[in-house]
Structure 1
Amino acid sequence: MSEIPKNVKRKVQELRKEIEYHNYRYYTLNDPVITDYEYDALMKELVELEKKYPQLSSPSSPTQRVGYKILEGFKSVEHPSFMYSLDNSYSMDDMVEFDKRVKKLLSVSQVDYVCEMKIDGLSIRLVYENGELTLAATRGDGKVGEDVTENVKMIHTIPLILQQRVNVEVRGEIYMSYTEFKKLNFQREEAGLPLFANPRNAAAGTLRQLDTSEVAKRHLDSFIYTLISPEKYGVKTQWDALNYMDKLGFKVNKESKLVHDLKEMQEYLAWCQEHRYEVDFPIDGAVIKVNDFSYQEKLGFTAKYPRWAIAYKFPAEQARTKIKDIKIQVGRTGILTPVAELEPVKLAGTIVKRASLHNFDYIQKRDIRIGDVVLVEKAGEIIPQVIKPIVEERNGTEKMIEIPKECPVCGGPVGKLDEKDVAIRCLNPYCPAKIEAWIENFASRKAMDIRGLGEKLVKKLVKLGMLKDPSDIYELKAEKIANLEKMGKKSAENLIKEIEKSKDAPLHKVITALGIPMVGEGTALLLEKKFSSLEDLMNADKDSLMKIDGIGEKVAESIVSFFSMEETKKMVRKLLSHGIGKGTIRKENEFQPLKGLKFVITGTLSISRDKMKERLSALGADVSSTVSSKTDFLLVGENPGSKLDKARKLGVKILKEDELEKLINQSKTNS
């Protein structure tokens, strides 16, 4: 192995330090001093150097935040000192008693306290050696937690390298902001997945994801508030500890306050409760800590709690009101969401007139009816939701809520995509409520890949009547688009070029783009092998579809139903007239060395997984997402997931990319 030049080593260290500094400015201080372009250039340079000199790779490099991994599970971690929880109080009287007790035990007349907002997240322990993050562990039962280091590396406010090269252990809270919580639940609702009840549940579920890329997408955040063994750093008070951790590069809550008596403490608690909804992070109270560490040591601990700290919990804000009616909303992807129309009630500082009922399973499990007196609260202090009916107050006039038999927007059929789906959806692709999302999907990268045709432009074009279904994309004219707000001639011409380029998309991309219910990319690849054009697929019957390995009865019925609609036939004819979906008829002598072989892919490859699927399919292979006894080969990249273990148990042959190339080349030689 060749020696790494000294100037390269120095440059890598400089880049890491500079990037971590800019991460701190951007994510922790919210005060960037360089542009995104300049930041991306620094990161790109570091990635290239680490790729060229892999010996320089380090678990504390900022590139770890973009090199996603699939984890096998979480190891148990024993904490060297117990991670205590706090005793709770619910009234100002409790706080008076706490202050009296502290002064009595210390035999003093005056005590300083540090007041901190109580973040509603999950506790985390962080260990740094020589300033580099080496361990992140959850609290668990206080004695034993779980090693979640790889996932915590995806949280930008937790530094990988500290501002000072010290050995240190700190503790704090990982949370999900209200902004990110709303985004995540919106995405889950659109996908028909169960919603998270509150940001805390969302944060906990995210931190236990085995796919670190999923953790990165959800943008968790942190506040650090405990310094272990503060005497090592000459730190004598909690207030100084917060300032010291801030200098190290941790995110500390700037809403904390040093108070000098009970009156100031009570003023902080009142202020905190009044302003709890003005911050973007979930808080459910405040934490009061004796400031002086020598006092903390004298006070010590009970069997469960520290005597020098207490949590003041805000009362849960719930309200009673009555359901006047149930309205059904149809989302962009066709999901039918029941929404309760309420008698107006004040809740968490706002007047609430409507509340989500999530889905019809939620209604049935809780036996919620029109006319019920119900308990409502704000989930995560954001989304009003009905918790339960007050059954004792029923008078017999309440009405059961029936599941719709047709879409309230278009009158089309409704149903679930499969048994696991909790959402009831409009199954009519031409439903006005779904048109925008359908066209966006058609233009997306996984489908026709029409760059520039994004959500905002699609919305405008649909509103103006220029797009009624995806085939209308190919009728667009540059001169008309150029007249739209924020477009212009150049942008319009570029979009038309992208639209023209998309006409060369392979058949499976076109099938994916159509958005046929229950037909994803994998099924589209199977259909491309069987049918030479979109027209052939449109004319296929259920029996011929079910003969294709990997396509069951429900998928076959969905395909036939989709193409039996007159609107679909009209749309397909328009697409074919533009040369789209004509497919490529494979010649008998075309080189297909993997014909009849079944592949599954796991891990990170040298090319994207979608491109590898296309390549394998073009070579004749069937690509599936699940390992079974019928699988011939598992193609393995870096950081493979649980599919590797399953393949080994089933005796499936395992290939790396270089071995795949050998297999293909060997077939060339033999053909």
Structure 2
Amino acid sequence: MDGKIPPEVIERAKKLREELNYHSYRYYVLNDPIITDREYDNMLKELSALEKKYPELITPDSPTQRVGEKPAEGFKEVRHSARLYSLDNTYSEEEVLEFHNRVKRLLGTDDIKYICELKIDGLSITLRYESGTLVLAATRGDGAVGEDVTANVRTIKSIPLKLRRPLDIEIRGEVFLPKSEFKNLNDERSEEGLPLFANPRNAAAGTLRQLDPQEVAKRNLDAFFYQIVDPRRYKLETQWDVLAFIREIGLKTEPHAKLVEKTEMVIDYWEYWQKEKHVLDYAVDGTVIKVNSIHQQEELGYTAKSPRWAIAFKFPAEQARTKLTQVSFQVGRTGVITPVAELDPVELSGTVVRRATLHNFDYILEKDIRIGDLVILEKAGEIIPQIVKPLSEVRTGNEKLIEPPERCPVCQGPVGKGKEGEVALRCLNPACPAKLERRIMLFVSRDAMDIRGLGGKLVKRLISTGLVGNFSDLYKLTPFELAQLGTGIGDKIIANLLREIDNSKDKPLSKLLVGLGIPGVGKKLALDLAKHFETLESLEKAKIEDLLEVQGVGNELAENIYNFFHNEEVLKELDELKKFVNTKEPLKKREGILEGKKIVVTGTLKNYTRKEIHDLIIALGGEVSSNVSARTDLVIVGENPGSKLEKAKKKGIKIMSEEEFLSTIKGENSDDLS
């Protein structure tokens, strides 16, 4: 970079950082966004572009700095400024009353109020801010010494890199994996033949100790906070004040805390959430009862292990007992064979359970689970029914060992371990119908090639009749062949389906990449890969180091993508598929043609959704704005444009139709964008 940074650029970057941090607070902490995701993304891209051009602009609190570029070699030890204590646990109302009586006795008063909070089943974390900027995040460790996980915590979007006030402060809380994310993560790991996480807490702990922050970022951790070190320093007199202050400066607190005056209300709170915890998207394993007054907390003090002013009132484990009557086997998209326990129906956590995952055959051996066993069930993360243990002491001798299948239960093909050290058993037949069915369903899904009308039943019929054995076969289907499928497949359905298949041929490369089912590549990463490599051929030839240049791709993911495109069966299938579908970016882009341009889109476009045209503008270096102003350089007009068109005319701003704009950026039109 030559010369000094222009003052207006410095000011713009500062304003963007402030706005982005504010809108992150509204979205992730208050759950009350006031701008669209698109507007947020546009601001973030503008800031990224400025920082790329002027690296001196980058600050530690910049939203662009959430994910580090390089994996850590290990975690450094951190000595905590004040000890992180654990809580004493109780499981009965009687012990809660004993706790209350002990507190009364030690304080010498009946004037005690409590805060009831839900106990998040996650991983304890402490954050240190200096002048409002995050400088350290550490795990609990042994309470005195933890591990520095700052780079990983920076990827958690609900944790601000800069507080809403310039404070020197240390705040403590719990990092957790939402139950919905836990299910998605285990589904992905099951498809890849990796060991499943037992519960969201294990998943959160395993994620936070990943050495590569880019891998951490993909798992969407979240966090709640509940404690400030030395709260008196901030003129806080109660735990209720502490929670309000934490929210005020920009961090999340668990929203269901309650201030109570009687122990009966403590019991009521516990009973209510024991029944209702399943409605939450995060795992809770009890409630925490805290003396509300900070002065009384200080007077009560600590034992060697725990505070005398707080106690955890744990929920009983929700388990059920039933009989395992049979074991069935499911074959996933990648061929992983998952054993599933068939059970006598039993109610558990509000639902009737008839089946439970057995994870893999190592799990069955480790637990010594047999057909005919009486077993104890519980829900991992309150979601996935699983067998905790068999009741081996009541066996009759009629129980049978669970044997891994010698052949694929669907295609009768060979089975085995995909690679050395892998836990999962796989079907090794590349043409297995079960694998093919799941792969085809992904390929035709809305996020992929979006071939509407191809549902599960029709896909099964196409596969079972031999009409479809791979992706490219979809594009070879004829009206005559479809008519032979029989009942329910009339002329209109055939015509609509063939039209949808034909329309899918021109889908952008990113849609194709989603449909291919590349391990670890979802919708967002597929778009990033398509933008970076531009053609399928370039992606096929990419080396590991090339893949690592893409935002969000870490070492493990880069290897997965590289291995996918070096699989002989995959390459053979792609060679045939290329004869039918688009494998390039849909436009020949004049790179940088929109650099620095502020563009407004109004009206309904023929060729693009609003998001797609915005993505294109940003890819060409432009900035998308939602309002016409004196700073607007161009307004793109579709059908029914509304008042923005009139406003642009009055201000003398350049106006283009959709067709004019596309012709210009393709280089087919001599018109310029100045």
| TM category, shorter | 0.7 to 0.9
**1:157 shift after superposition:** 0.7
What is the Cα deviation at residue 497 of structure 1? 3.2
Kindly report which structure 2 residues correspond to 1:12-23, keeping only aligned pairs within 5 A, or say none: 12-23=13-24
Q: Deviations over 1:347-390 (max 9, x none)?
A: 22222211111111111222211101112111121111112211
Tell me what 1:35 maps to.
36
- Correspondence for 1:141: 142
Change (3 A) 1:525 1:26: closer
Shift of 1:456: 7.4
Are the equivalent residues in 1 in contact too, given 2:474–2:501 (CA < 8 A)? no
Partner of 2:449: 453
Q: Give the structure 1 partner of residue 243 of structure 2.
A: 242
Residues 402, 235 of structure 1: CA spacing in aligned structure 2 closer, same or farther, 3 A cutoff? same
Match of 1:99 in 2: 100
Report the TM-score, using the length of structure 2 for normalisation: 0.72
Aligned to 1:462: 459
- Give yes or no for the alignment of 1:495 onto 2:498: no
1:546-599 deviation per Cα after TM superposition (whole angstroms, max 9, x unaligned): xxxxxxxxxxxxx7xx99xxxx9xx89967987999xxxxxxxxxxxxxxxxxx
Amino acid at match of 2:278: Y
Matches within 5 A, 1:260-659: 260-439=261-440, 452-453=448-449, 462=459, 465=462, 467-475=468-476, 495-498=504-507, 506=537, 509=540, 522=562
| Corresponding residue number in structure 1 for 2:46 | 45
Q: Distance in 1 between matches of 2:500 and 2:43?
A: 29
Distance 1:294 1:524, change over 3 A: closer
Q: Does 1:193 pair with 2:194?
A: yes
**How far off is 1:496 after superposition?**
2.0
CA distance in 2, matches of 1:227, 1:55: 33
Shift of 1:284: 0.4
8 Å CA contact 1:508–1:524 kept in 2: the answer is no
Contact residue 474 and residue 499 of structure 1 kept, 8 A = no
The alignment partner of 1:104 has SS state of helix
Residues 217 and 229 (structure 1), Cα distance of their counterparts in 2 relative to 1, 3 Å cut: same
Aligned equivalents of 1:572 and 1:52: distance in 2? 38
Which residue does 1:620 correspond to in 2? none
* Separation in structure 1 between the aligned mates of residue 492 and residue 215 of structure 2, nearest angstrom: 40
**Structure 2: how far apart are the matches of 1:103 and 1:373?**
47
Alpha-carbon distance between aligned partners in 1 of 2:448 and 2:135, rounded to the nearest angstrom = 42
The answer to whether the Cα contact below 8 Å between 2:152 and 2:213 also exists between their aligned partners in 1 is yes
Is the deviation greater in 341-350 or in 70-79? Answer: 341-350
Distance 1:577 1:99, change over 3 A: closer
Answer with 572-581 or 78-87: which moved more: 572-581
How many angstroms apart in 2 are the aligned matches of 1:111 and 1:53? 57
* Alignment correspondent of 2:181: 180
Deviation at 1:233, TM superposition (A): 1.4
Distance 1:34 1:574, change over 3 A: closer
Given that 1:368 and 1:389 are in contact with CA atoms closer than 8 Å, whether structure 2 keeps it comes out as yes
Are residues 18 and 580 of structure 1, via their aligned partners in 2, closer, same or farther at CA, if it must alter by over 3 Å?
A: closer
Q: Is the 8 A contact 1:508 1:521 kept in 2?
A: no
Q: Distance in 1 between matches of 2:498 and 2:71?
A: 45
Q: Distance in 2 between matches of 1:525 and 1:277?
A: 42
Alignment partners' CA distance in 2, 1:477 and 1:319 = 53
Q: 1:136 to 1:456 in 2, by over 3 A?
A: farther
Q: What is residue 119 of structure 1 aligned with on the other side?
A: 120
Amino acid at match of 2:262: D
Partner of 1:425, secondary structure, is strand
How far off is 1:234 after superposition? 1.3
CA distance in 1 between partners of 2:385 and 2:64 (Å) = 40
Please name the residue that 2:551 is paired with.
none
Alpha-carbon distance, 1:186 to partner: 0.3
Structure 1's 405 and 22: CA in aligned 2 closer, same or farther, altered over 3 A?
Answer: same
CA contact (8 A) 2:113 2:291 kept: yes
What is the aligned partner in structure 2 of residue 637 from structure 1? none
Q: Is contact 2:509–2:536 with CA below 8 Å preserved after alignment?
A: no
CA deviation profile, 1:454-478 (whole Å, cap 9, x unmatched): 6978756735737431231443699
> Which residue does the alignment assign to 1:69?
70
1:525 is displaced (CA, Å) by 7.6
User: Which residue pairs with 1:155 in the alignment?
Assistant: 156
Aligned residues: 530
Alignment CA distance shift 1:435-1:396 (3 Å): same
Unaligned runs of 5+ in 2: 483-490, 513-534, 544-558, 584-674
How well do the aligned residues superpose, as a CA RMSD in angstroms? Answer: 3.6
CA–CA separation in structure 1 for the residues paired with 2:162 and 2:396 = 64
Alignment partners' CA distance in 1, 2:577 and 2:292: 72
Aligned to 2:525: none
> In the alignment, residue 202 of structure 1 is paired with which amino acid?
A
CA contact (8 A) 2:153 2:159 kept: yes
1:262 CA displacement: 1.2
TM-score (norm 1): 0.72
Question: 1:112-142 deviations in whole A, cap 9, x for unaligned?
Answer: 0110000000100001111111110000000
Shift of 1:31: 1.9
Aligned equivalents of 1:576 and 1:249: distance in 2? 50
2:203 alignment counterpart: 202
Q: Distance in 1 between matches of 2:55 and 2:118?
A: 43
Counterpart residue identity of residue 39, structure 1: Y
Q: Which amino acid aligns with 2:459?
A: V
Once residues 285 and 272 of structure 1 are traced to their aligned partners in structure 2, the CA distance between those partners, rounded to angstroms, is 8
Cross-structure match for 1:613: none
Counterpart of 2:88 in structure 1 is: 87
Any conservation in 1 of the 2:324–2:342 contact (CA below 8 Å)?
yes
Q: Report the alpha carbon displacement of residue 331 of structure 1 after superposing the two structures with TM.
A: 1.7
For 1:411-434, what per-residue CA distance to the aligned partner results, in whole angstroms no more than 9, with x for missing partners?
222211122111111122222211
Q: Could you say if the C-alpha distance between residues 159 and 332 of structure 1 is closer, same or farther in structure 2, counting changes exceeding 3 Å?
A: same
Measured against aligned partners, the alpha-carbon deviations of 1:261-290 in whole angstroms (never above 9, x if no partner) come to 212212111112121111111100010110
Following TM superposition, by how much is the alpha carbon of 1:435 offset from its aligned partner in structure 2, in angstroms? 1.2
CA distance in 2, matches of 1:181, 1:38: 29
TM-fit CA distance, 1:67: 5.0
Cross-structure match for 1:552 = none
The more displaced of 338-347 and 205-214 is 338-347
Q: Which amino acid aligns with 1:495?
A: S
Structure 1 residue runs of 5 or longer lacking an equivalent are 445-449, 513-518, 528-536, 538-558, 582-671
Identity of aligned residues (%): 51
Counterpart of 1:256 in structure 2: which amino acid? A
Contact 1:451 1:495 in 2 (8 A): no
Residue 524 of structure 1, CA deviation? 7.9
Aligned to 1:3: 4
C-alpha spacing 1:508/1:28, structure 2 compared with 1 (3 Å): closer
Per the alignment, do residues 296 and 45 of structure 1 end up closer, same or farther by CA in structure 2, a change over 3 Å counting? same
Q: Take 1:573 and 1:242, find their aligned partners in 2: how far apart are those partners?
A: 59
CA gap 1:261/1:390 in 2 versus in 1, 3 angstroms: same
Shift of 1:404: 0.7
Decide whether aligned partners of structure 1 residues 500 and 191 sit closer, same or farther in structure 2, where only a CA change above 3 A counts: closer
| Contact 2:505-2:582 at 8 Å conserved across structures | no
SS at match of 2:302: coil
Any conservation in 2 of the 1:451–1:498 contact (CA below 8 Å)?
no
SS in 1 for 2:403: coil
